[in-house]
Amino acid sequence: MSDSFKVPTENKIVMSKGVHLIVPRIETNDKVFAFFDEKGRLFYVLPMHERTVIGTTDTKAQTADVSVTDEDRNFLLDQINRCLNLQNPLTKADIISERCGVRPLVITHSSQIDEIDWLALSRKHVVELNSNLRSISIFGGKLTDCINVGYEVVTCLKEIGIVTKPRASWIGEPDPQIDPKFIDLVSKHHKSNTKTIATEIWRRHGAQSSEIVMNWISHPDDAELVFPGLSFTLGELRYIIDREHVQTSEDLLRRRTPIALLRTQVEIKENAKLQSILKTII
């Protein structure tokens, strides 16, 4: 990029690596536990379907190309075993899957990186408006805060004379009130856990859920659950591939659904029907 296109900003980004481990369900309820780890930062125990997510780490990263190390695994396992008096302490053999990425943390250009207290850095985003250059720069932020970022960007656009189309709501969650007829449709194929399966499909697809379930009438096999204990059916995966621009198996199993987090790579590889579906991804 030439100097003529560079935008001066007050802030810049540094990166912190965070790792979570997914292990067998520790608690039978849906409570979230929070502790302080040995480094003084919050350490969470989160329910995810019939698994538990533990973490996170917080280490300085020079690049976004990061991976989980044995040091990361040992640290997280040590923390969970220290914080909870488990009858059977967790080991590496209990790890079902791993999550690893970097957080974009905001600092000012004047900050001396070597002198920064890494754990004290804020996770808050910053939106900078340069009215003269008519540019907006977004620093940091998290997926959980993306709607607030959007509102701030819209405000900045108005300040430079760009009018956006108003929206009643940016929240994508469908109406929680499920159509009783939809539950009846699901019950014809799933006599047990009907409400759970119906609720999960409805939460993910809203009014389009009926299209998925109606297809089970002509293709009964599509009503089959991909894995026992999960509410994802074969038909829903086919629907997602067709409608949500899935490009790779990782798109489907890690981005559109959490299946790759909830089942081991061996379980996924040995699931013949799932593998058959993955082959249809272009």
* pTM assigned to the model: 0.83
Q: How much is the pLDDT for 17?
A: 94
The tens digit of pLDDT for each residue in 69-97 reads 999 999 999 999 999 888 999 999 999 99
Residue 248 to residues 184, 274, 281, Cα–Cα distance (Å): 34, 14, 6
Q: Tens digit of pLDDT for each residue in 203-226?
A: 899 888 999 999 999 999 999 999
Domain spans in the chain, listed from the N-terminal domain onward = 8-115, 124-172, 180-278
State yes or no: pLDDT of 171 exceeds 70. no
Half-sphere exposure of 218 (CA within 13 A, CB side): 4
3-state SS track over 150-207: HHHHHHHHHHCCCCCCCCCCCCCCCCCCCCHHHHHHHHCCCCCCHHHHHHHHHHHHHH
| Low-confidence winner among 32-41, 72-81, 257-266 (lowest mean pLDDT) | 32-41
| CATH label, 8-115, candidates 3.30.9.10, 3.40.50.720, 3.20.20.70, 3.90.380.10 | 3.30.9.10
**pLDDT category, 45, cuts 50, 70, 90?**
very high
Of the listed ranges 60-69, 199-208, 268-277, the one predicted with least confidence: 199-208
